Structure 1
Amino acid sequence: MTDQLYTTHDISRLLQVDPSTVSKWIDRGILMAFRTPGGHRRVRSTDLRTFLVTHQMPVPEELGSSTVRLLVVDDERPVLDAIKRAFKPHANQVELQTTTSGVEALLLVSEQKPHGMIIDLNMPDIDGIEVCKRIRARKQMEGVRLITMTSNHTPDVVEQSKQAGAVACLAKPLDVTQVMELFRVPLALNTSAARK
């Protein structure tokens, strides 16, 4: 299914909100949008769906399923298997893809455009911090929510992860409820409120 494009007026009708509210969401960076060469804003249906799921708003039937696409990166296959099992109860909300390679993750993120990534910090080919930095360096990937995970969970490691562009650094073994919360809580709203 190709991504349908919505104008701010389409979204305001669909969600029954004022068009200026939609514009504010876009300006604050909590609803992903792009501008056409003529300067008009357009929102992809997948980005609108992600926004609604993240902010616990009802998803209109027209937008289809409201699953969050996650890419999990860890060089240890047993860890990936355990994460897959942990996410099983959330199968109707989360579509999980996994890879054991940081390099492959960089290729997959461009192809699959997941809503979020969970990245192990300690990997042989390219570590999690470097994966985060490379994704954050790509403008078209700025909407991907990055989460790192590590068995060496210290304040320093958490700080390094955030510096590299991750929204959170979680301890291993991964707590699935924490991950789900990171996709529900409107983090972008909190940060924009803090700036005022």
Structure 2
Amino acid sequence: MRREDADGTIGMTDFDGATIRRLRLLAGVTQEELARKIGVSFATVNRWENGHRRPSPAARRLLRAFFDKHVPEHAQRPDQTHPENSVRVLIVDDDPLVRGTLRRVLTSHSPHYEVETADDGYEAGVKTGTFRPHIVVLDLFLPRLDGIRVCRFLKESPETRDVKVVAVTGYGTEDTLRQIRKAGADAVLLKPLDMVEFLREIEALSPPGRHFRAVDESRKTAQPPATLQADRALVKA
């Protein structure tokens, strides 16, 4: 059952700027589109999201009706509390073996990595809004998903342009690599993945002050540990 505000409107005492922005992204609309849908000005939506003004009771009712229609109920729940020193990584790949392997490699090398996975574009979009990853590991050639276009969208959107993108592809042609770099990817890894290289890239792209030395400098010329060799074989399979 939804909580009611003191003024009788439903469930929106916590309708602050961050919540409005998160739900708007999940609904897949711009500030201009949201403003048009609920009958307010773009400037009003912008002020809400920037924390300069809070919605009136009437506006809260309009927002609630819009988000109830366009955002699944489970996705409307507030973000979980993340440890301050965590690094949030979203892995987008349609292969469950790859998703499981990369999750295991990250979480086994540092408890500070929080990992979520997605197997298609819709789930990736929802989790980008709810999980708010620091890094997205993105397979560029998934069924029904143009990874290069997704990468470009992440880098051009004001809400996600600071997200680091590690592009993964099995097509290392010069033209493909040029397209990936043009789309704004921060790193490109070729399949079959090398787990030591993968960890180094994640480490390098982690937010300042959250580097956990998952791969020691001494390993640059040494053989990877047995666990990494096993995981590498899984990804190659």
Q: Report the TM-score when normalising by structure 2.
A: 0.48
Unaligned runs of 5+ in 1: 1-34, 38-62, 190-196
Shift in Å, 1:151: 1.6
154, 162, 165: which one pairs with 1:146? 165
% same residue = 29
For residues 87-166 of structure 1, what are the structure 2 equivalents within 5 Å?
87-166=106-185
Cα RMSD, aligned residues only: 2.8
Q: Deviations over 1:39-88 (max 9, x none)?
A: xxxxxxxxxxxxxxxxxxxxxxxx95522100000111122122223324
Q: Secondary structure at the match of 1:136?
A: helix
1:178 matched to 2:232:
no
Unaligned runs of 5+ in 2: 1-49, 53-81, 209-237
44, 56, 68: which one pairs with 2:87? 68
1: CA distance, partners of 2:83 / 2:196: 24
Between Structure 1 and Structure 2, the one with more strand by share is: 1
Contact 1:72 1:98 in 2 (8 A): yes
Residue 186 to residue 150, structure 1, CA distance change in 2 (3 Å): closer
Question: Greater Rg, structure 1 or structure 2?
Answer: 2
Residue 143 to residue 68, structure 1, CA distance change in 2 (3 Å): same
Shift in Å, 1:183: 4.1
How many pairs are equivalent?
130
Q: Secondary structure at the match of 1:185?
A: helix
1: CA distance, partners of 2:163 / 2:205: 14
Q: Deviations over 1:123-173 (max 9, x none)?
A: 111121121122223101111001110122233222211111211110123
